Amino acid sequence: MEHKPIFVTPAQDAARRQAMEEFRALPDRPKSYFIVTYGCQMNAHDSEKLAGILDQMGMQEVPDRREADFVLFNTCCVRDNAERRALGNVNWLKELRKDNPALLIGVCGCMVQQPVMAQRMLKQYRFVDLAFGTHNLHELPQMLLKQVKEKRRVVEVSNEENLICENLPVKRLNDWHAFITIMYGCNNFCSYCVVPYVRGRERSRRMADILREAQELKQAGVQEIMLLGQNVNSYGNGSDNGETFPELLRQLDKLDVPRLRFMTSHPKDLSDELIEVMATGKHITNQLHLPAQSGNDDILMQMNRRYTREDYLRKVEKLRRAIPDIGLTTDLIVSFPGETEAQFQDTLSLVREVGYDSAFTFIYSPREGTKAAQMPGRIPEEESSRRIGLLIKEVEASTARVHEAMVGKTENVLVESISKRDNTQVSGKGTRGITITMDGTEADIGKIIPVSITSAAVNTLRGERIER
């Protein structure tokens, strides 16, 4: 069941706008900013909102953190290495401040939202001026105004996890691709995962608000919309208005935005109705990110994933029957506490059996406050390194087989950039989400171009334009 969402009130919106105006009028306020983002697409979209707010506060984004008056770290805590990277970079700014004493340093996001983390971090990193959690993003104008006026550090970590704030400004990374968050939080409590503790319980945006945002993006010329949520399949669960994820997709498909993608999908909530909508939708791409995490039933049970290997494979079969050319990607964890060699081998065999386009692979990382962090049977680092190496090789072999099978087929490529290796080529994503390069110029960026796949490389495909 979802928690009943609480929407930000007009009075709270007015307070935010008032703080923006007051901040812009300050003579000694910071004039420029730089945002460093760690983690998932949800964090990337949060950073777009933070940038939109800072722009409306009269600040200008600069391309280098060394040029900024205010540097803000939007952090992730899903894995230990993301946390360490963020704190290492924050510490680097301590040296930068020696050359720029007026530099403001802020840290926000999932890492700060963890219990007692904000106070622990601020005790260790005394040069941090501003820290706030995931539920306080919309209050950035008030927090920054307070810091600048009072010249003291500001810390805000709210436990109001049911809050949804509409109508925040968004500074999108480009004009042709856009994120739309459709829901927040997670109710699944996988034993290894800290997300429910830092993002809160599930709450969904109103369908009318999502459709309005999508319509505005279409009118602005956006070619692809990516729907975001910790588990988009459970959008609307527990609501009394009949708003479900399949119905949301049906309504969005009618808007005729060229491409619709979404992530992340929990396998236990992948319904036959959703598969049918994906198969019949005109604009829903033939790609699905379906995190398996493990190929062994006992490990899946200890992870609290609430499906078996057989359940997962049955859904893969349904997907491929309905959408024969679907591209499947996944997340996989090795060295979960107590994982045996035989259980690890089950994950390798799952990769071979499914034939993933690609996978995000991880060594288990204990997260404070989660059930798995208390489990016995920690796998030694040397053995974990061996396992992740074998898994990466298996995934690479699967990717190679998928890429080879694509040669000779046609794809529609949304061009994203000039190729990093050759400025006479461009690269972008096909409908399956695979990167494809072709001859082109900067004028192609943001356009959808049909190509014939001519060859396959390790991470990309090569295509030639189809003249129409």
Q: Is residue 123 a part of any domain in this protein?
A: yes
**Which residue range forms the structural domain that includes residue 427?**
410-465
Do 260 and 387 belong together in one domain?
Answer: yes
Report the pLDDT value the prediction gives residue 326, as an integer from 0 to 100: 97
Structural domains counted in the chain: 3
Report the pLDDT value the prediction gives residue 4, as an integer from 0 to 100: 67
Instruction: State pTM to two decimals.
Output: 0.92
Q: Render pLDDT for 250-269 as a digit per residue (tens, 0 to 9).
A: 999 999 999 999 999 999 99
Of 145-154, 234-243, 367-376, 381-390, least confident by mean pLDDT is 234-243
pLDDT over 70, % of the chain? 99
Do 334 and 417 belong together in one domain?
Answer: no
Q: Render pLDDT for 78-110 as a digit per residue (tens, 0 to 9).
A: 777 767 777 777 777 877 888 888 899 999 988
Q: Render pLDDT for 104-136 as a digit per residue (tens, 0 to 9).
A: 999 998 888 887 777 777 788 888 899 998 889
Q: Is residue 396 a part of any domain in this protein?
A: yes
pLDDT score of 238 more than 80: no
Residue that finishes a domain, picked among 376, 402, 428: 402
235: left (phi over 0), alpha (psi -120 to 50) or beta: beta
Do 320 and 242 belong together in one domain?
Answer: yes
Banded pLDDT at 77 (limits 50, 70, 90): confident
Do 246 and 332 belong together in one domain?
Answer: yes
Report the pLDDT value the prediction gives residue 12, as an integer from 0 to 100: 86
CATH of the domain at 459: 2.40.50
Mean pLDDT of the chain: 92
Do 275 and 389 belong together in one domain?
Answer: yes
Banded pLDDT at 429 (limits 50, 70, 90): very high
**Token code pair at residue 192:** 């290894």
Q: Is residue 1 a part of any domain in this protein?
A: no
Residue that finishes a domain, picked among 134, 160, 186: 160
Do 273 and 305 belong together in one domain?
Answer: yes
Report the pLDDT value the prediction gives residue 468, as an integer from 0 to 100: 63
Question: How much is the average pLDDT of 65-90?
Answer: 82
Report the pLDDT value the prediction gives residue 6, as an integer from 0 to 100: 72
Q: Render pLDDT for 383-400 as a digit per residue (tens, 0 to 9).
A: 999 999 999 999 999 999
Do 368 and 427 belong together in one domain?
Answer: no
Question: How much is the average pLDDT of 37-47?
Answer: 89
